Chains A and B, each alone.
Chain A
């Protein structure tokens, strides 16, 4: 009880005195139990993006490629950071050929112990877009993309790293992404292959 009271009292004091948001680094037990980055690997991946819902009338399927880092977070959970690139071509009558799109994602992967080697992941995503256009016609359809446009969203992903050889692994992945756009949300499905190398 005393311990609880101490924690709660400390909590109140912290609240009243603008708590240090990085205070957790001084928690010796948390530091001791922190196994993050005990393993780290890098990966390359590529595949195809399929628009879903309304977007099927807006853009064509496109190829994408990217790099990523996977690191230990908890015993059965990895943290994951991805950077990807694609070139999206419009399906409607737009006055430019396409749009450059960079994606950054931060999330976590859970290695499902029941069905090996299924890995389930989820996280947040951010897409930065810019039209491949030299002229700026804001009023025309697609005009907003001639300036930089950014939108956040979330993703869910299933990975199957079925091939393993020493420090290398390879497999398939499928990712569903929803960007929080308006007037409607934008959904896309990614399917591709991953080649991963463990660094430590």
Chain B
């Protein structure tokens, strides 16, 4: 290994330690709940604001389309991992169940009715993935998350639907999903067909939650050679029992990608090109709309490393309505034996952060435009220092400056009350003045063999701009202490203690909603049985912190505990 590669690998090593502790997520896609290295505000499993400190700009990550998210779910105008239709790859069976803490049990005998805490709600997941049989495999998964459901909004949502709107229980969970199917995998082909049914509550720009039942949803995937393709058919049913409305959307969407240099990571240049599309046919009362009922989004992705120390990444997409370019450049400068300095710059520019999303929302006779004239431009420059001080200690520093013009926001024309909710009329708009930010992050890593990986993180960010027009004023600083213990290769304790400062929602209510800063503690305890491929784990999430509503019209983020059992075949 030459010295420069050594340094790069050392940096990777430090970066590995810097990732958050491996506290289990309650559902695939809910990892954001255990993050506070920025602003992560959860309103439900199907809606959250997720912005890492130092990411630049004022948007959240899930608002931005990237080729990495081709198989994410599009929930209104956000790209979401959850509810994930990525088949679990390990041949195994698994079960997960848990509950928000705070049911009464025998406290009910000594508690007045008026003093009863609000009902606490569970999660459930069951699944299986068979071993290969001549290349064929089957899978089934049922999962729903009833957390974030039981404020008085339950009554409100109950007025929308005419049944329990879930596979299990009567909590009206924010999503309930089940699918099954089969696939074929060998050295040349990886293909699958999954079919299922799903209940999802979608959150929109008007701040409404509305229910969508996918009946059925069918997803096919294929990876053959350098091609990767996805084709999805959805029959989405809409309803509003209170207003006696019903509608239906038939949608076909998918993507195809050609990767010219797959499995050739040493190439100076890697190029891939692809196309994503959606075609919809709406009938009756459907609460969102897509211009021309279709969108086709061709894109190009390029990774280039002309020199060992220099790296370029470019993604570019364009169609008849929008264009979006995301690029970055990094240059590594070796300083001392184990220290590396990286200088970099990043740019995001485009007419829309998510060009494949719907273009209209229909709300009480009003049409909310989800697109804005003009374009946004985000520029960021950063410097990163990584140093592996010894074989058990390392640190990293990252500082950045960013500036954004034309940031997407919402121009509120009017607020209206609907039950406990505040809703808004208006249109997506832009902040055409410059917003500037400066960030600093510090990381300290400590590790000892496999036994311990410890990380301390701290960060601050100062933003100047037309802050009253930001959807969210991000948190200004955070600290986090994370540790993964692995004892005798068979018992894991992962835990994370964090603080983040206040964040503020400006545009979804008459008075801003301030989400107070707080400390949080999450932990996973896992018994492993390597010989038998069994894992038994218990996880506690959101302990310590005060239980609060983190998004407008969202639900309480409560302390919860869940246990998971997995067995590999």
- Residues of A participating in the B interface, judged by any CB pair closer than 8 Å: 1-2, 4-5, 7-9, 11-12, 15, 18, 20-22, 24-25, 27, 29-31, 33-34, 36-37, 51, 54-55, 57-59, 73-74, 79, 88, 90-92, 94, 99, 106, 108, 124, 126-127, 129, 139-145, 149-152, 179-184, 186
Contact = CB atoms under 8 A, between A and B. Distances in A.
A8 B90 contact: no
B173 to A, nearest CB: 16
B320 interface: no
A20 B15 CA distance: 20
B522 to A, nearest CB: 15
Interface string B1-23: 10000100110110111010000
Given A143-B108, A183-B117, A151 B99 contact: yes
B106 A186 contact: yes
Q: Is the interface of A mostly helix, strand, loop or mixed?
A: mixed
B391 interface: yes
Contacts, number: 169
Given A141-B109, A183-B107, A21 B566 contact: yes
Contacts of A91: 109
Given A36-B529, A186-B105, A30 B17 contact: no
Given A129-B105, A141-B113, A8 B530 contact: no
The winner among B6, B17, B103, B490 for most chain A CB atoms within 10 A is: B103
Q: Is the interface of B mostly helix, strand, loop or mixed?
A: mixed
7 contacts: A2-B1, A24-B489, A34-B531, A73-B527, A142-B108, A151-B99, A179-B105
A12 B16 CA distance: 5
Contacts of A1: 391
Contacts of A152: 98-99, 101, 561
A36 B106 contact: no
B280 interface: no
Interface residues of B, number: 56
B116 A144 contact: yes
B111 interface: yes
B396 to A, nearest CB: 13
B106 A59 contact: yes
B107 A150 contact: no
B228 interface: no
Contacts of B89: 20
Interface string B526-568: 0111111101101000000000000000000001010100101
Nearest to A104: B563
Contacts of B99: 150-152
Contacts of A140: 113
3 closest A-B pairs by beta carbon, nearest first, are A8-B13, A182-B102, A25-B533
Contact of B107 (A5, A24, A181): A181
B510 interface: no
B527 to A, nearest CB: 6
B106 to A, nearest CB: 5
The winner among B103, B106, B119, B490 for most chain A CB atoms within 10 A is: B106
A137 to B, nearest CB: 11
B92 interface: yes
Given A21-B535, A25-B530, A58-B107, 9 more contacts: A8-B17, A20-B89, A33-B530, A74-B490, A91-B109, A92-B110, A142-B109, A151-B105, A186-B107
